[in-house]
């Protein structure tokens, strides 16, 4: 039998209970609370039996590392949205689209997914393809092809995903 | 005697209205971008504005409007879900186009001035 991480089960229980409470909003009806806990337990038993509890199905993360990253990301999104909006609204707009390869990547799978999603979330850059050692990124303006910015974002993603010390 | 609760409520509704208005403006800019930009890959970027900042502003405005209630928690949940799924969907569409062999237009592109277009 394969090893099942207890911390994944605990993380899944916390998430499911929070989700149920937020969506239903009942705190004072015993019957409904019992039904809720029964369904949470049933879900946990099912996931253990199906052996799909692992790093990928429960990508839990350290909130104290993730929240600062999300704040930084929203600020970056704000900055590039202003640039792209100004470009779109100019009557005589000039675009300089490029395809670039970004080789600086976080090493963990979760960090890479976070990095690719962050690139796509930032207006002006879309991750088109993700290989083992590079991301192909389409950028709308040549101001957004700066390697240093991508390395900075990759470093912050690696830290947010809980990696020790990034290689770059 | 000034009742602070009333003023606080007024400020809250004002902030919520301003945030939702900003969100609507960014939605409009994104739509204009989808119409004006020249090719598929460029239009994805314009659609990205409506995905991210416009959604943040709209949902944030609604959360401020509804205060500390269960509705706010549900709205935050919706925001989290959108923040996770919309880049994935965008990446899936872009990746499919790339895999299917659609070549992006690169270099320097200057789309025609709106004044010069024949179809207005």
Note the pLDDT of residue A1: 41
Mean pLDDT of the region A127-138: 86
From residue B110, alpha-carbon distances to B30, B40, B47 in Å are 18, 15, 20
Which residues in chain B are closer than 8 Å to A122, comparing Cβ atoms?
48, 52
Spatial contact of A120 and A139, defined as CB atoms under 8 Å apart? no
Mean pLDDT of the region B89-111: 86
Residue B114 has pLDDT above 80, yes or no: no
- DSSP state for residue A101 in the 8-state scheme: E
So what's the ipTM on this one? 0.83
Indicate the pairing of strand A135-139 with strand A125-130. antiparallel
Whether residue B3 lies inside any domain: the answer is: no
Whether residue B115 lies inside any domain: the answer is: no
Rounded CA gap, A128 and B90, in Å?
9
Q: Which residue(s) pair with A28 in the sheet?
A: none
Residue A98 has pLDDT above 90, yes or no: no
DSSP strands (E only) in chain B: none
Give the start-to-end residue ranges of the domains of chain A.
6-50, 63-160
Whether residue B120 lies inside any domain: the answer is: no
Structure tokens at B74: 């549900």
> What b/e sequence results for B71-109 when a residue is b if at least 16 CB atoms lie within 10 Å of its CB, and e otherwise?
ebbebeeebeebbeebbeebbeebbebbeeeeebeeeeb
Share of chain B above pLDDT 70, in %: 95
B contact residues 85-114, partner A, Cβ 8 Å cutoff: 86-88, 90-91, 94-95, 98-99, 104-111, 113-114
Between B22 and A132, whose confidence is greater?
A: B22
Rounded CA gap, B74 and B80, in Å?
10
Domain membership of residue B40 as a residue range: 11-101
Name A24's Cβ contacts closer than 8 Å, sequence gap at least 6: A32, A36
Between A153 and B109, whose confidence is greater?
A: A153
Substitution target in A140, A144, A157 with the highest count of B β-carbons within 10 Å is: A140
Q: Does B68 touch chain A (CB under 8 A)?
A: no
Rounded CA gap, B48 and A125, in Å?
9
Q: Does A121 touch chain B (CB under 8 A)?
A: yes
Note the pLDDT of residue B96: 92
Mean pLDDT of the region A127-136: 85
Q: Does B44 touch chain A (CB under 8 A)?
A: yes
Note the pLDDT of residue B26: 92
Q: Does B53 touch chain A (CB under 8 A)?
A: yes
φ/ψ of residue A130, rounded to 5: -125, 115
Whether residue B5 lies inside any domain: the answer is: no
Considering its fold, how many domains does chain B have in total?
1
Residue A138 has pLDDT above 70, yes or no: yes
How many residues appear in chain A? Answer: 168
Q: Which residue(s) pair with A100 in the sheet?
A: A137
Substitution target in B48, B68, B100 with the highest count of A β-carbons within 10 Å is: B48
Rounded CA gap, B40 and B45, in Å?
9
Rounded CA gap, B24 and B5, in Å?
28
Residue A92 has pLDDT above 50, yes or no: yes
Whether residue B88 lies inside any domain: the answer is: yes
Q: Does A18 touch chain B (CB under 8 A)?
A: no
Mean residue pLDDT across chain A = 84
Q: What is the largest CA-CA distance in chain B?
A: 71
Of B42, B53, B86, the CB nearest to A140: B42
Top-confidence range, A33-37, A102-106, A144-148: A33-37
Residue B74 has pLDDT above 80, yes or no: yes
CA distance A119 to chain B (A): 9
| Torsion angle, alpha carbons of B82, A83, A77, B36, to 10 | 10
Count residue pairs from A and B with Cβ separation < 8 A: 117
Whether residue B114 lies inside any domain: the answer is: no
Mean pLDDT of the region B19-39: 91
Rounded CA gap, A78 and B2, in Å?
37
Mean pLDDT of the region A2-31: 82
| Collapsed DSSP state (helix, strand, coil) of residue A130 | strand
Rounded CA gap, A50 and B103, in Å?
42
CA distance B8 to chain A (A): 26
Residue A17 has pLDDT above 50, yes or no: yes
Share of chain B above pLDDT 90, in %: 28
Rounded CA gap, A17 and A15, in Å?
6
Whether residue B78 lies inside any domain: the answer is: yes
Lowest mean pLDDT among A2-11, A29-38, B104-113: A2-11
Q: Which residue(s) pair with A102 in the sheet?
A: A135
Note the pLDDT of residue A166: 60
Whether residue B50 lies inside any domain: the answer is: yes
Note the pLDDT of residue A4: 61
CA distance A78 to chain B (A): 7
Residue of B nearest to A81 (CA): B49
């Amino acid at each position: 039998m394969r090893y099942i991480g207890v911390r994944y089960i605990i993380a899944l229980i916390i998430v499911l209970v929070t989700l149920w409470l937020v969506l239903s909003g009942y705190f004072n009806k015993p019957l409904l609370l019992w039904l809720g806990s029964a369904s949470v337990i049933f879900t946990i038993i099912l996931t253990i039996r199906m052996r799909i509890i692992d790093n990928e199905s429960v990508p839990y993360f350290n909130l104290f590392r993730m929240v600062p990253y999300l704040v930084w990301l929203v600020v970056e999104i704000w900055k590039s949205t202003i640039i792209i909006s100004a470009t779109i609204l100019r009557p005589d707009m000039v675009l300089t689209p490029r395809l670039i390869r970004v080789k600086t990547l976080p090493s963990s799978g979760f960090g890479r997914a976070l990095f690719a999603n962050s690139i796509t979330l930032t207006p002006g850059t879309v991750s088109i393809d993700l290989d083992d050692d590079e991301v192909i990124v389409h950028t709308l303006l040549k101001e957004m092809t700066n390697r240093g910015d991508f390395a900075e974002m990759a470093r912050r993603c690696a830290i947010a995903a809980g990696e020790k010390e990034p290689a770059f | 005697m000034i009742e602070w609760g009333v003023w606080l409520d007024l400020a809250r509704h004002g902030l919520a209205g301003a945030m939702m208005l900003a969100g609507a403006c960014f939605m409009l800019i994104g739509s204009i971008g989808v119409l004006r930009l020249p090719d598929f890959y460029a239009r994805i970027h314009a659609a990205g504005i409506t995905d991210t900042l416009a959604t943040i502003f709209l949902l944030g405005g609604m959360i401020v409007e509804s205060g500390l209630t269960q509705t706010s928690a549900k709205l935050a949940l919706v925001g989290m879900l959108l923040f996770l799924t919309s880049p994935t969907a965008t990446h899936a569409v872009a990746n499919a186009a790339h895999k299917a062999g659609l070549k992006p237009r690169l270099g320097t592109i200057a789309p025609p001035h709106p004044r010069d277009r024949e179809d207005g």
